[in-house]
Amino acid sequence: MKRFGRRVLTGLLAAVLLFCLPVVHAADDRTEVPLYRLESGQAAAEQLYALGLMRGSAVLPDGSPDFALTRTLNRLEAMVLIVRLLGGEQEALEANYAHPFDDVPQWGAPYVGYAYHHGISNGLGKSFGAAQTITLNEFLTQLLRSMGYRDVNWLDPYPLAGQLGLYYPTAGDGFFRADAAVICLDALNCPLSPGESTLFDLLKRSGAVSPDQEAPAGVFVPGPVPPLVAGFDAEAGDGLLAQMYQAVSGHAESIAVRAPEEQLAALEEQLSAASGGLSSPFSDASGLTVCQVPGQLQAAPAYLDTGRVMAWLEGRATNLSWNDLRLLESARSLHASLVTPDMSEYDQVKAFHDWLALNVTYDPSGDALPEDDALRSATGALLDRRASSDGFARAFDLLCYFSGIDCLRVTGASGGGFHAWNKVKLGGQWYAVDAALDCAVSSASGNRGVRYDYFLISDGQMARDHSWTQWPFWPAAAPEQGSEQE
């Protein structure tokens, strides 16, 4: 985990970032499919396509297959996918088994005949339901039957699927081609019934894939996860805020603070005052909504744009808004352009600082605006190239996050008004960084050239023209040599 006391697992993060969609607009709020399922589905579909077990529905302008992952499947399409997954397409086309259904188009008859002949599907009476949208439980049932598990309860195939290690989305979230691709890829490593042989072993024996082919490892699916609910027994004074900070840093959606009934009102006042002040200690959140229930306080954090992106990358959120998706893609692309494998953490932090200082116009007036204003967002810094100090601090924080470098956003005051900057940890030591004040381009100046007046300095140096609440659980920036760290 990345925040104070936690660090991102860089391998996990890299796995997520490799699953980028070729059609970005599919992850817009205008689609029903959560972003994490689209990305995992794309990665799974590409592996199945490489094995010859899945085809695209069309060809994209760049020549790659379009797997139509945002679409649902009808029962006929699902059966074609399963027959190909079994390596049975050639047999289906050559044998052209008969079937009793009257609603199957001619092109789909061999696949339905194969399924009927092998007992995978018995249809819906006289009809197969070819054009009917298939549900998750129906798809899992047909897939499990194709693997030899004939006594599957089609209303509740989930216990068996879970036992075999098959991923499936949370019930009620819809079922899409993206989900089917992930399920099919997982199925390749599942045992057939009866015995230890896997579906992939069957494909190698039948010649559907090369005998030398290694079984695919599957794809990383970052969610869904249950809403993260943190809970702790309240401690007085700064102890309460320290525990709340840890819960917010873990991107909890809901936080339960347990305390004796007679202490709840005072604790609620303490939390509300901290979250509403200019120097809020909860650097991933813009504030807390706190209410009393019997025996505890319920706190609901409202996260900043960067916090929402980080929560998604950690599997704490199932979707991103269109603006947050743009921020993720922009930060990912910029990070990739700035960082090379041979760079030290110092080199990376300096690259982030320099890029922001040289490429983003600093507009201090934005710090007086609401926290959701574009000038105060990381999107303002990375996409619009114009931001307040808060936009600089959030963008710097997010870039460090992609590198797995501990960093936090500090809020306080400078120049008579609200101001935000960062603390970053290098070589076991914390340093203060204010990329906004080192910015070479401001609303009042067009000069070029980066400065290092506020780069990797101590709290004492920063305190010359910055003020903030030094919460006891925040790390102190007190390097012996200031910005000379290498």
Residue 290 sits in the same domain as residue 437: no
pLDDT digit string, tens, across residues 345-374: 999 999 999 999 999 999 988 888 887 788
Residue 353 sits in the same domain as residue 269: no
From 277, 305, 333, give the residue that closes a domain.
Answer: 305
Identify the band that residue 236 occupies on the pLDDT scale cut at 50, 70 and 90: low
Identify the band that residue 399 occupies on the pLDDT scale cut at 50, 70 and 90: very high
- Quick check: is 187 in a domain? yes
- Quick check: is 465 in a domain? yes
- Quick check: is 217 in a domain? no
| Beta-sheet pairing, 296-303 with 466-467 | unpaired
Using the predicted structure, report yes or no on whether residue 288 has a pLDDT greater than 60.
Answer: yes
Residue 124 sits in the same domain as residue 149: yes
DSSP string, 130-194: TTSBPPHHHHHHHHHHHTT-TT--TT--HHHHHHHT---PPTTS---HHHHHHHHHHHTTSBPSS
Q: Which of 474, 416, 465, 460 is nearest to 438 (CA)?
A: 465
Structure tokens at 235: 């401690």
Q: How does 270-286 read in b/e, with b if 16+ C-beta sit within 10 Å?
A: bbbebbeeeebbbbbbb
Confidence (pLDDT) at 160: 84
Identify the band that residue 254 occupies on the pLDDT scale cut at 50, 70 and 90: confident
Identify the band that residue 31 occupies on the pLDDT scale cut at 50, 70 and 90: very low
Percent of the chain with pLDDT over 90: 33
**Mean pLDDT estimate for the chain:** 82
- Quick check: is 224 in a domain? no
- Quick check: is 288 in a domain? yes
From 279, 305, 331, give the residue that closes a domain.
Answer: 305
Q: Which residue has the higher pLDDT, 242 or 171?
A: 242
CATH code of the domain covering residue 380: 3.10.620
Residue 80's Cβ-count burial label (10 Å; 0-12, 13-18, 19+) is buried
Q: How far is CA 474 from the centre of its chain?
A: 26
User: pTM here?
Assistant: 0.58
Using the predicted structure, report yes or no on whether residue 481 has a pLDDT greater than 80.
Answer: no
| Least confident window among 189-203, 276-290, 324-338, 356-370 | 276-290
Residue 356 sits in the same domain as residue 380: yes
Residue 34 sits in the same domain as residue 116: yes
Q: Hey, what's the torsion of the CAs at 245, 246, 251, 252, to 10 degrees?
A: -100
Confidence (pLDDT) at 387: 93
Residue 280 sits in the same domain as residue 349: no
Residue 234 sits in the same domain as residue 166: no
Identify the band that residue 172 occupies on the pLDDT scale cut at 50, 70 and 90: low
DSSP string, 249-309: HTT-SEEEEE--GGGHHHHHHHHHHHHHSTT-S-TTEEEEEEEEETTEEEEEEEE-HHHHH
Strand order in the sheet with 285-293: 229-233, 254-258, 296-303, 285-293
- Quick check: is 15 in a domain? yes
Using the predicted structure, report yes or no on whether residue 234 has a pLDDT greater than 60.
Answer: yes
Q: Which of 145, 155, 122, 132 is nearest to 73 (CA)?
A: 132
5 and 474 Cβ atoms separated by less than 8 Å? no
Give the mean pLDDT of 200-225: 77
Structure tokens at 400: 């460090």
- Quick check: is 220 in a domain? no
Residue 235: which domain range? 229-305
Residue 422 sits in the same domain as residue 331: yes
Confidence (pLDDT) at 405: 94
Using the predicted structure, report yes or no on whether residue 10 has a pLDDT greater than 60.
Answer: no
Q: From CA 293, how far away is CA 226, in angstroms rounded?
A: 22
Q: From CA 307, how far away is CA 193, in angstroms rounded?
A: 45
Give the mean pLDDT of 415-432: 93
Confidence (pLDDT) at 356: 95
Residue 234 sits in the same domain as residue 285: yes
Q: Which residue has the higher pLDDT, 35 or 172?
A: 35
From 305, 330, 355, give the residue that closes a domain.
Answer: 305
Q: Which residue has the higher pLDDT, 173 or 352?
A: 352
Residue 159 sits in the same domain as residue 294: no
Give the mean pLDDT of 252-268: 87
Using the predicted structure, report yes or no on whether residue 279 has a pLDDT greater than 50.
Answer: yes
Identify the band that residue 7 occupies on the pLDDT scale cut at 50, 70 and 90: very low
422 and 459 Cβ atoms separated by less than 8 Å? no
Residue 293 sits in the same domain as residue 400: no
- Quick check: is 65 in a domain? yes
Q: From CA 349, how far away is CA 430, in angstroms rounded?
A: 12
How many folded domains does the chain comprise? 3
- Longest Cα–Cα distance of the chain, Å, equals 85
Structure tokens at 216: 């695919």
pLDDT digit string, tens, across residues 116-153: 998 888 877 788 999 999 988 899 998 999 898 888 88
261 and 250 Cβ atoms separated by less than 8 Å? no
Residue 404 sits in the same domain as residue 271: no
Q: Hey, what's the torsion of the CAs at 472, 473, 477, 480, to 10 degrees?
A: 80
How many alpha carbons lie under 13 Å from residue 66 in its C-beta half-sphere? 12
